[in-house]
Amino acid sequence: MKKPDTGIRSVCIVGAGAVGSSIAGIIAERDSGAVSLLAGENRLRRYGAEGFLLNGIRRDFALTTPAQASEADLVIVAVKNQHLPQAIRDMSRHVGPRTLILSLLNGISSEEDLAVAFGPEKVLYAMILGIDAVREGNATRFSSTGKIHFGDAANIQGAWSERVMRIAAFFDHTGVAYVVPGNMVRSLWYKFMINVGINQVSAIIRGTYRTFQTDPDAKAVMEAAMREVVTLSQAMKTGLQESDIAEWSATLMGFGSENKTSMLQDVEARRQTEVEAFAGTVIRLCRAAGISAPVNTTLYSLIKAIESNY
């Protein structure tokens, strides 16, 4: 019997913001025919006319719409948490029997939502770490595209599942940097810890990465918010330790100093933030676990106040 083809030849990216357009650019460098961006009619016209500027270079990608029925081998979801319900509706005609799905959303809940919509056999755990992209209009600039961390909940080196190997082979082919952690759930919580700290504090004090690289007071508040996530993680046995805060602080020093977190970009553009997915989730889970979260409770109130004064 002929061995079935398990290769990935088509990728649909849902969400053409800083992360989505950056990944599309990487894939298109090696295989321009492999990637398309999902866009509604209004954005379709704008993307077609303006293209995308990635570090000053115009790039044009194939575009597809929610109405087009075109099964993709891989769907990469790169929207904000508050836009996930719409993204699920928009991508439904691009998900078929063989489609695999990676969610690069911040937070720790999007995989569950996608699994409910399309089936757990299609959805892997995923996140992107180390990207410092900033989007303004159709222009995205970045000094680091980071790495996609993905996999099943647990991954044994040398014995990855067939679906993990399919995606890894495609990323090898297209030059997308990736990591397959042994404990993917812990990795998601590590990224969650980072977002809860630097995204929220930066949005309140309007600080770039330089602020947290040089200002000990800003760094202290960021770490206090992260420490509540570590405490919660230990209660829920998802693997974070105090040393993870120091590891992140060392990683932070390599970021472009003038670049900004996604939540700061949202506040500056007067958009709804992901505070519900960050502090809101910490508060809810801490309450259920009988743990106090005074720092995140304060950050939540401050960010909601900022949004209410747009």
Report the alpha-carbon distance of residue 252 to residue 208 in Å, rounded.
Answer: 11
The span from the first CA to the last CA of the chain, in angstroms, equals: 63
Residue 121 burial by Cβ neighbours in a 10 Å radius (0-12, 13-18, 19+):
exposed
- Domain with residues 185-308, CATH architecture: Orthogonal Bundle (1.10)
Residue 115 burial by Cβ neighbours in a 10 Å radius (0-12, 13-18, 19+):
middle
DSSP state of 137: T
Report the alpha-carbon distance of residue 239 to residue 61 in Å, rounded.
Answer: 39
Per-residue model confidence (pLDDT) at position 127: 94
Structure tokens at 101: 């799905």
Q: What is the pTM of this model?
A: 0.89
pLDDT bucket at 5, cuts 50 / 70 / 90: very low
Burial state string for 206-243 with b = 16 or more CB within 10 A and e = fewer than 16:
ebbbebbbeeeebbebbbbbbbbbbbbbeebebebeee
Residue boundaries of the structural domains of the chain: 11-182, 185-308
Q: Where are the beta strands (DSSP E) in the chain?
A: 11-14, 35-38, 52-54, 57-59, 62-64, 74-77, 100-103, 123-131, 134-136, 139-141, 145-151, 178-179
Residue 14 burial by Cβ neighbours in a 10 Å radius (0-12, 13-18, 19+):
buried
Mean pLDDT for the stretch of residues 122-151: 87
Per-residue model confidence (pLDDT) at position 38: 95
DSSP state of 310: -
> pLDDT (tens digit, 9 = 90+) per residue, 162-175?
999 999 999 999 99
Which residue from 110, 122, 109, 124 is spatially nearest to 154, judged by alpha carbons?
124
Structure tokens at 147: 């790495």
> pLDDT (tens digit, 9 = 90+) per residue, 191-249?
999 999 999 999 999 999 999 999 999 999 999 999 999 999 999 999 999 999 999 99
DSSP state of 40: -
Mean pLDDT for the stretch of residues 106-128: 95
Indicate left, alpha or beta for 133 from its phi (over 0: left) and psi (-120 to 50: alpha): beta
Report the alpha-carbon distance of residue 122 to residue 134 in Å, rounded.
Answer: 30
- Domain with residues 11-182, CATH architecture: 3-Layer(aba) Sandwich (3.40)
pLDDT bucket at 42, cuts 50 / 70 / 90: confident
Quick check: do 11-182 and 185-308 share a fold? no
Which residue from 190, 202, 196, 191 is spatially nearest to 293, judged by alpha carbons?
196
- Please say whether the beta carbons of 197 and 295 come within 8 A: no
